[in-house]
Amino acid sequence: MRLEELLHQGDQVVVAVVEIAGAVIIFVGAVWAALRFVVDGLRRRDAAVFTPIRLSLGRFLTLGLEFQLAADILRTAVSPTFDQIAKLAAIATIRTALNFFLRREIAQEQQQVGRPGPPP
């Protein structure tokens, strides 16, 4: 087996692990938020109870998207073609925009709740 083939197979394994980690983070965040939504929603009927849940879910989504972007970058690490680089640029732009808007919404929600958060 040539070194380039070995690197490519190793890269595929690493990409799969990072993608799975991102998906697991998003899944865990969604399940956690859904459970809190049900439990807290049954206890209190106040709309303010849902803001901390949305903030936490937003953090999980942001972290999961960062892992997904890392996997995309790793995918193009070994002998990228111009097509792969163009796709990565498009994906990175979309995911970066999603992260930007998520972080901005989280910061706004934290200000409304009155809790300090990470800088936007």
pLDDT of residue 36: 92
Whether residue 119 lies inside any domain: the answer is no
Contact between 69 and 92 (Cβ < 8 Å): yes
What's the mean pLDDT in 12-24?
A: 94
Domain count, the chain: 1
Q: What percent of the chain has pLDDT over 90?
A: 24
Domain span holding position 99: 3-113
Whether residue 107 lies inside any domain: the answer is yes
Phi, psi angle pair for 79, to nearest 5°: 50, 60
pLDDT of residue 53: 87
pLDDT of residue 33: 94
CA distances from 30 to 19, 25, 35, 41, 83 (A): 17, 9, 9, 16, 33
Distance, CA of 75 to CA of 37 (rounded, Å): 36
pLDDT of residue 84: 83
Global pTM reads: 0.73
